[in-house]
Structures are given as structure tokens and as C-alpha cells.
Amino acid sequence: MYLKIDARTSVYLLKRLWIKTYVYEELLPSKYIAIKQLVYSYLEKSLSIYTDSTKMICIREGNIPLYKGRDNNRILYISGIALQISKYENFSAMEIANGIVSHLPATCSEDFHVQIVSPGWIHLELTHPTLATWLQSIVEWGVGNGEWGIGNREWGIGNREWGVGNGEKGEKDASLSSLSPLSPLSPLSSPTPHSLFPTPHSPSFSAQYAHARCCSLLRLGHQQGLIQLRHLDTVHGGVPSSKPIPWLDCDAKLRLSHPASGRLIAELVKVVDQLEYSYNWEKAALDLSQAFETFWRNCRIFGEMKTTSPELAQARLGLIMATQSVLRFLLEEKLGISALLEL
């Protein structure tokens, strides 16, 4: 007997395979799922058309010039590698840029829309399907720890099976249905040493508040049937659902088109891109928490939205899952304080 799957599920499964291939073949020994590292890997492979000496000059110590664009409506990377190589080669920057782009791996066209801009800039804009795959990977596996998530080295948190409660697929834990999203008696509460509490109004406290708000919204989404969470009492890292989030519409466009969604996604990408480097992590946590607050104020999930646009509501909850996972990593791994589940 063969299992029949629809086209959307087939694309999703292929993308899951892409994630594993990408992480293990492209990012190792990197331990973070950074889009910037994927861009680097494509450019490095394309640079093989030049002499070894030129290539080494350009990529020594990650010296490929690359930065992320500021437009929150798209994830755009801009490289000046052709301008840099033109200093060592007898060709114009535009000619070199065309040569680099023509030798990019075939898979690059699936992940990025590539454009050459005078006098030799290479623009790589992340496609919506790949962005959706990246968001889903954070929802399921989180960031960091060298494997697929934070804490557990397999499929997220708690039991390794899908579902809610005892880990059986689709089976719910009846004890979860009676929990109030903000109940102080909820098993989501976890004792935190007083020394790990930052002072109110500090950037760290803002991030803790945003993290707790994410957890509250996810519990409410679970209780209202918009999403299905596994082991709700351990929602303390990557939060997997029993099926993929409907990030894309029927035209393979990201449903999260509101400017506040774009800003939040841009902040998530920026943080994950920086995880391997020295950075002002307190500022990063503050920027991410502020982007989340703007998103939450402007993008409805419950009420009428749940009925009229359930897939958009689910996509917005998926974005909250990704935000909660990254906030938790920043708080616990970079700032050394507890990621509170409730305040």
C-alpha cells in the first residue's frame, strides 16, 4: 500500500530534506541555521572559476563582502565581491559579477532571486518558499546546539514522537485543555532563581516579557485549536506542531505580508546570522522583543481572524513560535538569564 500525499505536502517533505542537506553539508562546522552562511557557501563555490590566489584573498577569514539589505519587505543580501576581485583581475566588476552569477550552483536559483546591479553589486533575494522552510526549521528545531534545536538533540523538546501529551500522534493530554494561558498554577511555570531576574525596564526584562507573552499566545492558540503543540508543559525551546505551518498561499507567496510581520522576520534573520559572531546581544534581544510587540499590536490572530482567515492566523502563530525559540536562545545562551514562561 502506498501513502498518497498532495502536492503541498510533497513540496514540504522535499524542503525538509533540503534543510537537512543544507545544515549538514553547507553549515557544518557552523552550528546555526544562518541564511547568510548559505549565501557565503554559494559564492565560495562560484569563486572556484578564479585563480586560487585570488580566491584565497577574497575568502580569507570570511572576507567575502556581504551585508543584509534594510528593506523589511524582503530578505536581501548584497555582495561587493565582484568589485573586490576587479582589483586583481583584468576585467570590469560587471563582467566579473556576470561570471560569478553564471557559475552559481543550480540550486541557488531555487533559494534566491539573483540580480546584478551596476557597477557590479550582486543582489540575492531569498525566495518565499525557502524563507518558509527556514521559518519551519526554527519552529521544529530551534537554533544552535549543533543539532536541530535547543536542549534536546533530536526533534525539539520532551518526547521524540509527534503529538500532544504522551507523544502518540494526534493524542491530546486532557490536562492541557483546562489551563488558562496566564494561570500561575499552570505546569508551564518554572521556578527561577531571583538572581536571574533582570531589573524592570531593562532590555533583558523586555526580552523576558516578550518571551513570556509568546508562550501565553501559543498556549491560547493550542487551546483554541489553531495549532497543536507537543508536550505543552515543556514549551521551553523549539515548539513543534503536529503538521507544518501554512506559511505559503496557493501562489507560493508568504502569507505574512503585513509590514510588522516583515520587520519581525527581518530581525529573526539578523539575529540568527550573527549567532556565530561577537555582537551586542542585549541590543539584539531588545530589538527582537520590540519587533515582536509591534507585530502583536498590529497583526490579529484570534477572534474574527480565527474564523475568516485561519491559515493566516496559523502562520502568525508560527512566526510567534520562531520568535519564542530565538528569544529563549538569546536569553539563556547569550545573556545568561532565564527565559521565563510566565510573568
User: Is 38 in contact with 104 (CB distance < 8 Å)?
Assistant: no
pLDDT at residue 5 in the model: 46
Geometric angle at alpha carbon 328, from 323 and 309, rounded to 5°: 25
pLDDT at residue 161 in the model: 31
- The set of cell numbers assigned to 169 is 500522534
pLDDT at residue 185 in the model: 29
User: Is 196 in contact with 337 (CB distance < 8 Å)?
Assistant: yes
| Exposure string for 230-251, b = 16+ CB within 10 A, e = fewer | bbbbbbbbbbbbeebbbbbeee
pLDDT at residue 167 in the model: 35
The domain total for the chain is 2
Does residue 203 share a domain with residue 95?
Answer: no
User: Is 313 in contact with 275 (CB distance < 8 Å)?
Assistant: no
Indicate whether 173 belongs to any domain: yes
- How far is 15 from 129, CA to CA, in rounded Å? 9
Give the 3-state secondary structure of 232-254.
HHHCCCCCCECCCCCCECCCCCE
Number of residues that make up the chain: 343
Does residue 92 share a domain with residue 204?
Answer: no
- How far is 234 from 328, CA to CA, in rounded Å? 13
Region of residue 231 (phi > 0: left; psi between -120 and 50: alpha; otherwise: beta):
left
Report the first-to-last Cα separation within the chain, whole angstroms.
51
What burial class does residue 2 get, using C-beta atoms within 10 Å of its C-beta: 0-12 exposed, 13-18 middle, 19+ buried?
A: exposed
Please report, for the domain that includes residue 78, its CATH number: 3.30.1360
Indicate whether 250 belongs to any domain: yes
Does residue 218 share a domain with residue 253?
Answer: yes
Does residue 309 share a domain with residue 214?
Answer: yes
Strands 66-68 and 112-117: unpaired
Does residue 138 share a domain with residue 118?
Answer: no
Does residue 280 share a domain with residue 141?
Answer: yes
Beta bridge partners of 126: 112
Question: What tens digit of pLDDT does each residue of 243-291 get?
Answer: 789 999 999 999 999 999 999 999 999 999 999 888 999 999 999 999 9
> What is the extent of the structural domain holding 254?
130-179+186-334
Does residue 232 share a domain with residue 321?
Answer: yes
User: Is 262 in contact with 180 (CB distance < 8 Å)?
Assistant: no
Indicate whether 7 belongs to any domain: no
At residue 78, the 3 state secondary structure works out as strand
Does residue 292 share a domain with residue 156?
Answer: yes
- How far is 281 from 336, CA to CA, in rounded Å? 11
Please tell me what DSSP assigns to residue 84.
Answer: H
- How far is 17 from 25, CA to CA, in rounded Å? 12
- In order along the chain (343 residues), what is the average pLDDT of each group of 10 residues? 48 51 44 84 82 60 83 96 86 93 91 96 97 92 54 30 33 35 34 47 85 94 88 49 84 96 97 91 96 96 93 96 95 91 81
User: Is 226 in contact with 181 (CB distance < 8 Å)?
Assistant: no
Indicate whether 24 belongs to any domain: no
Residue with grid cell 542537506, as numbered in its chain: 21
pLDDT at residue 240 in the model: 55
CA 56, chain centre distance (Å)? 31
Does residue 46 share a domain with residue 62?
Answer: yes
The pTM of this model reads: 0.76
- The set of cell numbers assigned to 58 is 577574497
CA 119 vs CA 29, 125, 219, 274: distances in Å: 34, 18, 51, 28
